[in-house]
Amino acid sequence: MPPRIPGPSTVSSALTRCTVPSASSRCQPQQQQQQWPAQSIASFSTTPARPRFTKIRRVFRTWINGPGSNFRKHIPGGTNYLQSPFDNERNVDRPFPLNKHFKSEPVLDDRAREFIWSKIMKDGETVKAVSAELGVDIRRVAAVVRLKEVEKDWVAKGKRLATPYAKAVLGMLPTHTFTPERRNEPFEPINELHVHPYTTKQIFWPTSESRHFTRADAAKAFHPNLLSADERVPHPELIQMEKELLQGRPLWDASERFKQAAMESERKAANKQAAKAALEEKYTTRVHSNRFEFRFKQINSENVGPKGRARNAVGWRYGAPYYDRAKGEIKIPTSVP
The candidate with the shortest Cα–Cα distance to 20, out of 52, 48, 42, 50, is 42
Dist. CA 65–CA 44, nearest whole Å: 36
Instruction: Identify whether the C-beta of residue 228 lies closer than 8 Å to the C-beta of residue 216.
Output: yes
User: What's residue 336's pLDDT?
Assistant: 64
User: What's residue 80's pLDDT?
Assistant: 80
Three-class secondary structure assignment of 248-287:
CCCHHHHHHHHHHHHHHHHHHHHHHHHHHHHHHHHCEEEE
Q: Name the pTM for this structure.
A: 0.67
By three-state DSSP, how is residue 108 classified?
strand
Scanning the chain, the segments in alpha helix (DSSP H) are 8-17, 30-33, 55-64, 110-117, 127-134, 138-156, 163-171, 215-222, 229-232, 236-246, 251-282
User: What's residue 44's pLDDT?
Assistant: 66
Query: What secondary structure letter does DSSP report for 234?
Result: S
- Domain boundaries defined on the chain: 8-40, 107-176
By three-state DSSP, how is residue 118 classified?
helix
Burial class of residue 246, CB neighbours in 10 A (0-12, 13-18, 19+): exposed
User: What's residue 49's pLDDT?
Assistant: 65
Measure the CA angle with vertex 197, ends 193 and 202; round to 5°: 100
User: What's residue 20's pLDDT?
Assistant: 45
Query: What secondary structure letter does DSSP report for 121?
Result: I
At position 9, the amino acid (one-letter code) is: S
Dist. CA 301–CA 295, nearest whole Å: 17
**Beta-strand pair 107-108/293-297:** unpaired
Q: What does 170-216 look like in DSSP terms, one character per residue?
A: HHTS-EE---TTTTTS-SS-SS--PPPGGGGS-------TTS---HH
- Return phi, psi of residue 67, to 5°: -65, -30
User: What's residue 246's pLDDT?
Assistant: 92
Return averaged pLDDT per consecutive 10 residues of the chain, 337 residues in all.
52 45 47 51 65 85 86 76 77 84 89 93 92 91 95 94 89 85 81 87 87 90 90 89 91 91 92 94 91 87 77 66 71 67
